[in-house]
Amino acid sequence: MRKSNKVIITCAVTGAIHTPSMSPHLPITGPEIAEAAIGAAEAGAAIVHLHARKLEDGSPSQDPELFKAFLPQIKAASDVVINITTGGAPTMLVTERLVPVHTFKPEVASLNMGSMNFGLYGMLGRFKDFKYDWERPYLANSDDRVFKNTFKDIAHILESCASNGTRFEIECYDIGHLYTAAHFIDRGLIEPPFLIQSVFGLLGGIGPHPEDVLHMKRTADRLFGDDYVWSVLGAGRNQMPIASQSLAMGGNVRVGLEDSLWDGPGRLAKSNADQVKRARSLVEGLSLEVATPQQARQMLGLKG
Ligand code: KMH
Ligand code: ZN
């Protein structure tokens, strides 16, 4: 059951998977990412999960100079919790993926709990050309690509961030990833409270069926007991249905254009804030309250 009536909304504002050709509303430049993150925070997001993109074609990049074009602006305008990706893009090596987290030492960083096939919507080399389609949410145009997160990679991320006070959004795309998280907890590399971010509906991971969500929650309950805060994200058109299930089951939600470009069937979201507002209306419709950044810090034991 829910320990608090406060719900943490995370907004993942741009990511690495969607391409500029899929939506004119996807933030690309530093000012666009800053504006999107600040707008999401004003709409109710307590955490913003951030990637950077190259200016020339919008493809993903972990160059810290690109992060410098939005992190100070966000911090100046808002006390929202900053969460920087360590996933980068599936094409990148883990050393490259870690550079911005080592540089900026954020309160939160993502941590992907296993290697997997990853049904991408975009593909390097033709980054500008992909279209987004409500009817065909899974475009497996990355047939030979693996999102590599070996046990060694995961240990390296945890050990190399240990002295920074960064805590982790533990991204679990399937049930086995919960067991991998439990393994690293047993090794003493992750301390409670654990933020478990369950990802549903990517090709290569667990599906978006209510029984999938239930199985994920039950397994996390069994493995982590009272020591974890559960959040979910549903990819593409699964975003709001999965958010609703999580809220009804005591969980928190992640939305944002990284995970879905939609605002309804065939209708592109005009901003990240629009999705946060939609999530907020689900939260308030259930007589729950949206957590402030400070409340999220307390719930997750962040350094502040
Ligand atoms: N796009 C999400 C499903 C990361 O940044 O580390 C995965 C993600 C990975 O957020
Ligand atoms: Zn991400």
Tell the residue number behind the tokens 């933030």, with chain if given.
27
- Say if CB 275 and CB 37 are below 8 A apart: no
Q: Is residue 282 part of a domain?
A: yes
- Residues flanking ion ligand 2, Cβ below 5 Å: 15, 85
Whole-number Å distance, alpha carbon 110 to ligand 2 midpoint, is 7
Ligand 1 atom closest to the CA of 235, numbered from 1: 3
Q: Give the helix ranges, DSSP H, for the chain.
A: 30-43, 64-67, 71-77, 94-104, 151-161, 175-186, 210-224, 239-248, 272-285, 293-300
Residue 229 DSSP class = E
Query: Letter for the amino acid at 264?
Result: G
> pLDDT category, 141, cuts 50, 70, 90?
low
Helix axes 210-224, 175-186, angle to 10 degrees: 10
Q: Which residues have a Cβ under 8 Å from the Cβ of 93 and sit 6 or more positions away?
A: none
Helix (H) or strand (E) holding 168: strand 167-172
Is 47 near ligand 1, meaning CB less than 6 Å away? no
CA distances from 255 to 2, 15, 229, 285 (A): 20, 11, 16, 17
CATH of residue 63's domain is 3.20.20.70
| Residue 258 in contact with ligand 1 by CB distance below 6 A | yes
Q: Which pLDDT score, from 0 to 100, does residue 191 have?
A: 97
Give the model's confidence band at 90: pLDDT under 50 very low, under 70 low, under 90 confident, else very high: confident
pLDDT of residue 165: 96
Report residue 18 as tokens: 């969607």
Residue 258 included in any domain: yes
Reply yes or no on whether the pLDDT at 137 is more than 60. no
Q: Residue 302's pLDDT is what?
A: 98
Number of domains in the chain: 1
9/17: higher pLDDT: 9
Which tokens belong to 205? 């991971």
Question: Is residue 107 one of the residues assigned to a domain?
Answer: yes
Least confident of 8-12, 189-193, 260-264: 260-264
Q: Ligand 2 centroid vs 36 CA: distance in angstroms? A: 15
Determine the residue type at 20: P
Q: What three-state secondary structure class fits 172?
A: strand
Per the domain annotation, does 89 fall within a domain? Answer: yes
- Domain assignment present for 79: yes
Residue listed under structure tokens 């020339």: 56
CB of 61 sitting under 6 A from ligand 1: no
End-to-end CA distance of the chain: 27
Span 152-163, pLDDT tens digits: 999 999 999 999
How far is CA 164 from each of CA 132, 139, 153, rounded to the nearest angstrom?
38, 38, 18
Instruction: Examine residue 185 and state whether it is found in any structural domain, yes or no.
Output: yes
| Residue-number span of the structural domain to which 77 is assigned | 6-300
> What band does 124 get if pLDDT is binned at 50, 70 and 90?
very low
Place of tokens 């559960």: 230
Query: pLDDT of 43-66, one tens digit each?
Result: 999 999 999 999 999 999 999 999
ipTM: 0.97
Residue 107 CA to residue 253 CA, distance in Å, equals 18
- H/E stretch holding 228: strand 228-234
Query: How confident is the model over 73-82, as a mean pLDDT?
Result: 98
Distance CA 98, CA 92 (A): 10
| Residue 95 belongs to some domain of the structure | yes
**205 near 174, Cβ under 8 Å?**
yes
Taking alpha carbons only, the member of 110, 262, 94 closest to residue 197 is 110
**Residue 1, domain member (yes or no):** no
pLDDT digits (tens, 9 = 90+) for 151-197: 999 999 999 999 999 999 999 999 999 999 999 999 999 999 999 99
Q: Calculate the average pLDDT of the chain.
A: 93
| Distance separating alpha carbons of residues 45 and 221, to the nearest angstrom | 25
Is the pLDDT at 103 greater than 70? The verdict is yes
